[in-house]
Amino acid sequence: MCVGFPMRVVAGDDFAATCERGGASERVSLLLVGPQPVGTSVLVHNGTAVRVLGEAEARQIDDALAGVAAALEGRAFEHLFADLIEREPELPAVLKPAGAATGNGRTKR
């Protein structure tokens, strides 16, 4: 499994940016996402920005990472997965087998 971390662009050029997360900064390649303005959140894996993130999605990823850390330390973590509370997880359409039931109990045709 690969884990990417949301980081915020603080300076950059056409090919790379200085990004920050939790007070630490890192030089990140922008070759996959193109130049990004200061303040943009990007998902970083192995020193490369692999995707531009919206603020809500960046916050959800940060919460999930904090939730995993809290669970491993035996602390309360449920509040960090608010987007999953009271809903049944569902596979993305591309991962569902042909003819699989949809979320409404009907078979997809």
| pLDDT at residue 104, as a whole number | 55
Helix H or strand E encompassing 72: helix 55-72
How far apart are the C-alpha atoms of 52 and 39, rounded to whole Å? 11
pTM, two decimals, is 0.75
How far apart are the C-alpha atoms of 41 and 54, rounded to whole Å? 7
Domain boundaries, the chain: 1-53, 54-90
Closest CA to 40 of 56, 24, 52: 52
pLDDT surpassing 70 at residue 78:
yes
CATH number of the domain at 1-53, please? 2.30.30.140
Task: Quick: pLDDT tens for 8-34.
Answer: 999 999 999 999 999 999 999 999 999
